[in-house]
Amino acid sequence: MIVYHGSVVSVENPQILDSQRLLDFGAGFYTTTNREQAVRWSQRVAARRKTDTRYLSKYEFDIEKAEKELQILRFEEPDAAWLTFVCDNRAGREPKQAYDIAIGPVADDMVYTAVTLYEQGVLELDETIKRLKIQPLYDQVLFHTEKSLVFCKYVKHEEIGGKADE
């Protein structure tokens, strides 16, 4: 499986970074199977760091071998288990089960709004899930532990700099 990582630097040697930000799937190295999603991530990082330089790094992920050797959490759709997992991570709560890799939908801006309304008690669980399922969802693949990175092999990178896709 090919996965991508968008950033302001090329990442030939992925690392597990413990971010100060509370992210959907917790700390780790975030990738996606969707090239355009990775490009958008690079744009967000570039805007936050006030730079036009952006890179798209490409990796081969040996998912078949990883499934035999690691604990993989897989969320096929935004359901109650996914929503609980995302909310727990964003609140800084420890996950209920250990995992090396998490795979599932990414909470983009539209999804983030629904999740936030759920966290604030404005939306009930069923209404939140209903709203999530009508959004176009992209995936994310999080390498959460050092041993998971063994299955993520760098292939190449490309500079995609500038504010618009080139």
Give 14-53 pLDDT, tens digit per residue.
999 776 777 889 899 999 999 999 998 899 889 989 998 9
The pTM of this model reads 0.85
Write down how long the chain is.
166
What pLDDT digit, counting tens, does each position of 53-104 carry? Answer: 999 999 999 999 999 999 999 999 888 898 889 889 888 888 888 999 999 9
Nearest in space to 28 (alpha carbons), one of 123, 100, 110, 117: 100
Nearest in space to 32 (alpha carbons), one of 74, 4, 68: 4
Return the residue matching tokens 């991570």: 89
Nearest in space to 102 (alpha carbons), one of 114, 88, 116, 91: 88
CB 4 within 8 A of CB 59: yes
Nearest in space to 105 (alpha carbons), one of 135, 139, 133: 139
**What tokens appear for 161 in the block?**
């700099």
Cα dihedral 86→137→6→15 (10° resolution):
30
